[in-house]
Copies of this chain bind each other. A is one copy, B any other.
């Protein structure tokens, strides 16, 4: 045995006085090995502190037992929750999860994705920031399945798991309209984001269905942080004709809106997309467009695994349903 580095199967074989192949058989639990030999091998393994090199093992067979997950922004609890769900499925299937964040940067996303592919991963789950994903087409052709999560991708055949953004927003706004609200503000993050576009479209559909129009002055975009959303809501409520209700297109905006509304004691109705921790403990009642976030991540992972097992089927887009729920009002 070489005195340097980790012991290898060759070292174990020498120590046990058997052939390399026998060691390999024992280590991998293959049948038809004489118990006596197996015992000697195991003994040598112990004595040497041998650990199998999984990388070398998969070099030949190309075993791909890790899943790559590229989130758009890991500092967002939404994506972290999804990562946890993906991790749970991966580990149930005895696979590993390698996780990275594109920071909403298309170039970074591409670099990360290609980098992971170079590591011969078994599949890739991406929350896309880039608009075109043909940079992955070669990998997909060669058998690495890709699943888009939360936002659709383009340029390659790949499954997508999305929320029913439009339906959820439509139902939420329809309810506000049914409650008699007419001046409903719609607060959004950057307009370019897929989910924002969809949720705005859903809100418009609700207005259209009621034969009404959404006042353009009440549509505010680009609210990327709670602080910015808070300021926007303050401004709206200070206006000549303030809204009687606000629809917040994501959880950060809802939080900002709440900060503004609660601190000024306003009674404006609030409905927000995305639930958040402790929403139940809020001092005032709000409505939330809720959904099963675990299902979102789990479904992505499961779809990936299915696709790995059976690449033949055509690619699908799956919509995760939403529902309106009550939150807060404990004060």
Residues A97 and B96 in contact in the complex (CB < 8 Å), given A53-B118, A283-B330:
no
Which residues on B sit within 8 Å (CB–CB) of A75?
Answer: 84
Q: Is A184 an interface residue (CB 8 A)?
A: no
Q: Is A24 an interface residue (CB 8 A)?
A: no
Which one of B56, B59, B118, B259 contacts A51 once the chains associate, using CB atoms below 8 Å?
B118
A47-82 interface code vs B (CB 8 A; 1 in, 0 out): 001011111101100100010000000110100110
A283-315 interface code vs B (CB 8 A; 1 in, 0 out): 100000000000000000000000000000000
State which residues 248-262 of A face B: CB under 8 Å.
Answer: 255, 258-259, 262
> Complex formed: what's the CA distance from A227 to B138 in Å?
50
Which residues on B sit within 8 Å (CB–CB) of A55?
Answer: 55, 58-59, 119-120
Q: Is A331 an interface residue (CB 8 A)?
A: yes
Residues A77 and B259 in contact in the complex (CB < 8 Å), given A91-B101, A100-B87:
no
Query: By the criterion CB–CB under 8 Å, are B81 and A138 in contact?
Result: no
State which residues 135-159 of A face B: CB under 8 Å.
Answer: 138-139, 141-142
A82 to chain B, nearest CB (A): 10
Query: By the criterion CB–CB under 8 Å, are B96 and A119 in contact?
Result: yes
A142-184 interface code vs B (CB 8 A; 1 in, 0 out): 1000000000000000000000000000000000000000000
Residues A262 and B281 in contact in the complex (CB < 8 Å), given A59-B56, A75-B84:
yes
Interface centre among A96, A100, A258 (most CB of B within 10 A): A96
Query: By the criterion CB–CB under 8 Å, are B114 and A101 in contact?
Result: no
**Nearest residue in B to A67 (C-beta to C-beta)?**
B98
A119-143 interface code vs B (CB 8 A; 1 in, 0 out): 1100000000000000000110110
Q: Is A240 an interface residue (CB 8 A)?
A: no
Q: Is A117 an interface residue (CB 8 A)?
A: yes
Which one of B87, B118, B263, B276 contacts A101 once the chains associate, using CB atoms below 8 Å?
B87
A276 to chain B, nearest CB (A): 6
Which residues on B sit within 8 Å (CB–CB) of A114?
Answer: 51
Q: Is A33 an interface residue (CB 8 A)?
A: no
Query: By the criterion CB–CB under 8 Å, are B101 and A98 in contact?
Result: no
A113 to chain B, nearest CB (A): 11
**Nearest residue in B to A6 (C-beta to C-beta)?**
B142
Q: Is A116 an interface residue (CB 8 A)?
A: yes
Which residues on B sit within 8 Å (CB–CB) of A263?
Answer: 330
Residues of A within 8 A of B (CB): 5-6, 49, 51-56, 58-59, 62, 66, 74-75, 77, 80-81, 83-84, 87-88, 91, 96-101, 112, 114-120, 138-139, 141-142, 255, 258-259, 262-263, 276-283, 330-331
Other A-B contacts than A51-B117, A97-B98, 9 sampled, CB-CB below 8 A, are A49-B141, A54-B120, A56-B59, A66-B98, A75-B84, A83-B83, A84-B101, A87-B101, A262-B331
